Amino acid sequence: MKYKMILLIVFGFILIPSLSIAGITYNSKEFKDVIKQLDMQGHADHDLSTCTVKKVYYDEVVEMLEQGKSGKEIIQFYVDEYGQAALRTPGNQGADLVAWAMPALGFLTGAIIVAVLIKKMITKKEAAGTGFSSIDYWSSSAEKEITEKTIEEERRKLF
């Protein structure tokens, strides 16, 4: 009986450390929820096995989660330390909305500028009489006939 009791106690001591370690891992939901929001100084898309910065972030987040900090507290810790650059995406409040709107506004402005320039070029050519409708492609009728025959021969070869 004593042998069974000693074996049970030893087994318990062996099992206790593994239970505490199994709490938070790289695969736990809480960890993944926090890590997917962090940019990790531009290393978020690198491989964990080769990127030391990413390893440091992973270890810090696991340590904070094991200390009982919530995901929001961890995110706020990194925002306080690195600013909005700590996050993969900008926030969606107040001045952070500018970061979402600027790419669209820049694209729209560029498209408008290009459209206006093209329209000016077309109207300038039409006003000068060199528009697309008044271009004479052949300098003589013989050149036109030769080109038409060549095109017709090539068309017959293909079709």
Tens-place pLDDT, residues 56-114: 989 999 999 999 899 899 999 998 898 888 888 776 777 777 877 899 999 999 999 99
Domains of the chain, residue spans:
2-86, 98-158
* Residue 54: band (very low, low, confident or very high) from pLDDT cuts 50, 70, 90: confident
Residue 75's closest CA among 31, 34, 36?
Answer: 34
> How distant, in Å, are the alpha carbons of 13, 16, 23, 24 from that of 20?
12, 7, 6, 9
Task: Please tell me the distance from the alpha carbon of residue 44 to that of residue 48, in angstroms, as a whole number.
Answer: 9
Predicted pLDDT at 24: 80
Tell me the two tokens of residue 17: 């450390």
Selected residue with higher pLDDT from 66 and 21: 66
Average pLDDT over residues 134-153: 82
Confidence (pTM): 0.49
